[in-house]
Amino acid sequence: MASIPQNPLTACRSQLSGNAACSTNSNLLRLIALGDCNTNSSDLNQGTLPAGVAEAFRDRNLNLAVTNLGAGMTTSREGLKYLHDRGHAADFAILNFGLVDCWTTTIPGAYIPYFYPESKTRKLSRKVLKSVKRYFRMWPFKNFVPMGYVIKPAEYQKNIRAMIAKLRQWNPQISIYLWGTVPVVGNAKRNESIAEYNTLLLQIAQQESVTYIDSTNALSGLPAAETFVDDVHLSPKAARLIGEQISDTFLRQSHNLAAEAA
């Protein structure tokens, strides 16, 4: 396991009073990113939050070493496994789940996670299961087959809290930022579910004494055409704006810590 670094807010005080480079044990702030398709994507036209955060920090002369544990179509269930399998001590973390967790599906208990790397057997099994679910959504089966969230609210909260606990186990002084899922385009019902899970994320942030970033607020005034590359996936500009919100919050907290220590 990696050694526990300094609190990044303490390590970067020199940056607050001049142009000195931010310094930690490795001369970099170590960032772990956890999330779904808006955290990690193979689409080069899409924006991702780790890239947006790194860009915003570079503009403020703060350098990041990023470990991106995000993956498309993942829920908080997979995120927790990725963290356990590939996580390490870090200075701070950004975390977002909910877009897939709150997806309403037929027979929600029948679900094949998107663990990476994928196997042929898993992909084939998922394809078959999706076909069966589509069939059950047809009349008359849809009147009898249960519908529900992929990850129920109780498990979602448990998974997020477990990630926070694991990150703190590796570094008790880590700064953690939970950022809310951005509402999608043209799906009011899904956005109601997204709002519900964002509220849960905010409550967890308050109870666990970590920072919640209101992504919708950060993107206020940005047209949908500039927010997304489609109806769901964020544009580089949108990712950058949320990244700026995180970096501004980080620096504000740093200033407060430096003032308290003076």
- What does the alpha-carbon distance between residue 220 and residue 244 come to, in Å, rounded to a whole number? 13
If we measure between CA atoms, which residue out of 89, 83, 88, 90 comes closest to residue 115? Answer: 83
pLDDT digits (tens, 9 = 90+) for 63-122: 899 999 999 989 999 999 999 999 999 999 999 999 999 998 777 777 777 777 778 887
Whether 202 is in a domain gets the answer yes
Please compute the mean of the pLDDT values over residues 134-151 and round it to a whole number. 72
pLDDT digits (tens, 9 = 90+) for 218-244: 999 899 899 999 999 999 999 999 999
**pLDDT above 90 as % of the chain:** 63
Whether 128 is in a domain gets the answer no
Q: Residue 224: which CATH number?
A: 3.40.50.1110
* Spatial contact of 240 and 47, defined as CB atoms under 8 Å apart: yes
Q: Which domain holds residue 32?
A: 8-103+150-261
Strand-pairing partners, residue 17, are none
User: Does 11 score more than 70 pLDDT?
Assistant: no
If we measure between CA atoms, which residue out of 135, 134, 128 comes closest to residue 112? Answer: 128
Handedness of CA 254, 258, 260, 261 (dihedral sign): positive
Whether 183 is in a domain gets the answer yes
- What does the alpha-carbon distance between residue 156 and residue 96 come to, in Å, rounded to a whole number? 11
List, in sequence order, every beta strand (DSSP E) within 77-221: 92-96, 104-106, 147-149, 175-179, 211-213
User: Does 18 score more than 50 pLDDT?
Assistant: no
The domain tally of the chain equals: 1
Whether 230 is in a domain gets the answer yes
Amino acid code (one letter) for 236: P
Mean pLDDT of the chain: 85
User: Does 10 score more than 60 pLDDT?
Assistant: no
Whether 129 is in a domain gets the answer no
Write down the pTM of the prediction.
Answer: 0.84
Whether 47 is in a domain gets the answer yes
**Residues making up the chain, counted from first to last:** 262
**pLDDT above 70 as % of the chain:** 82
The confidence band for 26, taking pLDDT boundaries of 50, 70 and 90, is very low
Whether 48 is in a domain gets the answer yes
Which helix (H) or strand (E) segment holds residue 45: the answer is: none
Whether 138 is in a domain gets the answer no
